[in-house]
Every structure is written in C-alpha cells, then in structure tokens.
Structure 1
Amino acid sequence: MSSGQRYRDLMSAFPTGIAVVTSLDGEGAPRGMTCSSIASVTVSPPTLLVCMRTGSATLDAVTSHGAFAVNLLHEGGRHAAEVFSGPAPNRFSLVEWKQSSSGLPWLTGDAFAVTECRVSGIQRISDHALVLGEVDRISQVEGTPLLYGLRRFAAWPEPVDATVAGSRGGRP
C-alpha cells in the first residue's frame, strides 16, 4: 500500500463536518466546492482557514473575488455535498440557493449556518491552497451538522439523556 493511500485511510478515520465553499467568478457566476478541511484560526479578528484544491474554478473565484462564503451543511445536505464534490455542470441549478446582500451564494436549502469571509491570506502547498478568511458576517439557525468519516456521511448523534448533556454545559 502506498504512503498516499495510507495517509488517505488515516484521514478518513477522522470524522469532520462538511461545508460547501462558494464565491463568484470574474463574470459574476457562482462557483462552489465541497470542503471538509476547515478550521478556526483566531477569535480576534474572527478568522477561519479552508483548504482548497489548486486548479479548481472555486479557488480561482475566491482568489479573484477576494471573498467567499462557507455553508455548513445540515444532516439533510448530503445531496449538496455530493453535487459540489464532483464535476457536475451547472451545480447551482441542482440545489436551492440565493445571493446574499453582499452577492455571495448561500445554500439556503442545505446549510444551517453560513459565514462570509474576506480573503486575508493564501498559502499554496503542493496541490492545495490554505485560504485564510476574516469573518464579516454569520447567519445561523438550529440544525444538526452533516458529518463525513470512514468514507460515509452521518448526522451528529443526539444525546442519550438531555439532563446529562445539560450537566456538561451542553444544550438542554
């Protein structure tokens, strides 16, 4: 087994939330891609990091537009995750979306939270780019996050006993 395959197997064992990163290209057309490599960088100023494949139309749009949205998918967002992870033409015609007041594409039918970011830095490493985004706007409603791990989708499990979750500081 190659070291690349061993590394993919290792990372597939680490479940993560699923998001679709969206932006606008030079002609104002929406672009987007599924992304599971997202991390909080700092709270002040609020900044996050997304990892994107170099050569993708979405990374080109993010770079040229200087802004992007991170759509955190809810448990019913598997279709959107799959649409934006492959080469589907006209991806946005296959999902429910709208342009926010700033013009960025929001996946209104599949995301429980969206944050809009201004690009504050880009570092290219091999075939990916680490894109830093300073958060400008957050919109969030109740929702159960969609997760991906062990090469399959799942929803965040509900607590067995809400009282136990409440005693640990979780939601009642």
Structure 2
Amino acid sequence: MTESKAPPASTLPPPAGATSDGFRTMMSTFPTGVSVVTGLDREGGPWGMTCSSVCSVSLDPPTLLVCLREGSPTLAAVREQGGFAVNLLHEGARETAELFASGNPRRFELTPWTQDPDAGGPHLVRDAHTVADCTVVLTQPVGDHVTVFGRTRRITRQSTRPPLLYGMREFRAWPGI
C-alpha cells in the first residue's frame, strides 16, 4: 500500500471563517443518499421534501434521524401527526428528488404514492427502493433546522434498484452495481 502525500501548503487556500456558503460548499463534497421525507397533516393531506440529512442513530431500538427545515409544511405535518416515512430513493428517481426539492405544490399529483393506516407517511411506490415508517420520539431545534428522531417501526422494501446519491451538487447512481 502506498501512502499518498498532501499537496504542499503553498498550493492550498488559506483557512477561512465558516460561512453558510462555505459550509454548503464543504458539505457538497460529502456524497450522501437521497430520500423524500413524507407526512400527513391533520386533514390527511400529504406533505414531503427531499432530504439528504438522514442518519441511523440506534439499532436497539431501531432509530434514525432526519433534519428538516424549520417552518416547512412537512415538518409541521410530522409534528402534528407524530410520525413520518423516509422514502430512500433509487437511481431512477432523480426527477422525483428534484420535484420534492422544488416546493412545487402539485408534487403529490405528479408522483405515484400510497398511504395505508400503518404508514408513517406516504410511500413513493415508483421511486423508493425502501421505506422506513417512523414514530417521532424527540425533536431538537438546531439553527434553521429541526432534528427529528424517529423510532423505525416498519421497513418496506419496494425495489432492488441501487440508491440515488447526491454530492458535488449532482445526483448520481451508486457506481459498480
């Protein structure tokens, strides 16, 4: 195994203060999976948003977290109903990821979905390879987002297609699968 060497310090930019733009640029270099977090409001209306801030927290009990923008209708629905679904998107779901990131109010008219009584939120039946239905166990505001911890109570595998990734401000398929 060969050891790679860091570039000479003279070729690297000087350290800079952490700004929102700098932080966004830094995080764009860290590829992650893409999901759509969904929930229902009090009237049973569907809400959802593209989310790449999803993380496993615990195996026992199975718990994950999602970070949702403060003030978003999806976060309001998740808080109202105490549950949500994390739709892990497959490689063919780029358009859906973009649609749910756009804020288009017709997104649920343009995407096939189902909702059964045991689900935490709508399941995107065409675009998710797996869906985790969760019950909210804790919310924690942090800056302009809220971290929502959800106990995963049901997992539905819908497809064997590889996951959709996001990094360097681009959507890509998982390589080599």
TM-score over 0.5 for the pair: yes
Q: Which runs of 5+ in 1 are unaligned?
A: 160-172
- Superimposed CA distance per residue, residues 106-163 of structure 1 (whole angstroms, 9 cap, x where no aligned partner): 000100000000000000011100000000100113120000000001000115xxxx
| Aligned counterpart, 2:172 | 154
Q: CA deviation at 1:45?
A: 0.2
Q: Secondary structure at the match of 1:91?
A: coil
| Aligned counterpart, 1:18 | 34
1:130 to 2:166 alignment: no
Q: Counterpart of 1:158 in structure 2: which amino acid? A: G
Q: CA deviation at 1:18?
A: 0.2
Q: How many percent of aligned residue pairs carry the same amino acid?
A: 51
When normalised by structure 2's length, the TM-score is 0.87
Q: CA deviation at 1:100?
A: 2.7
Q: Counterpart of 1:151 in structure 2: which amino acid? A: R
- Structure 2 Cα separation of the partners of residues 25 and 47 of structure 1: 22
When normalised by structure 1's length, the TM-score is 0.89
1:100 to 2:116 alignment: yes
Q: Secondary structure at the match of 1:58?
A: helix
| Aligned counterpart, 1:83 | 99
What is the alpha-carbon root mean square deviation over aligned residues? Answer: 1.3
| Aligned counterpart, 2:47 | 31
Q: Counterpart of 1:121 in structure 2: which amino acid? A: L
- Larger CA deviation: 141-150 vs 64-73: 141-150
Q: Which runs of 5+ in 2 are unaligned?
A: 1-15
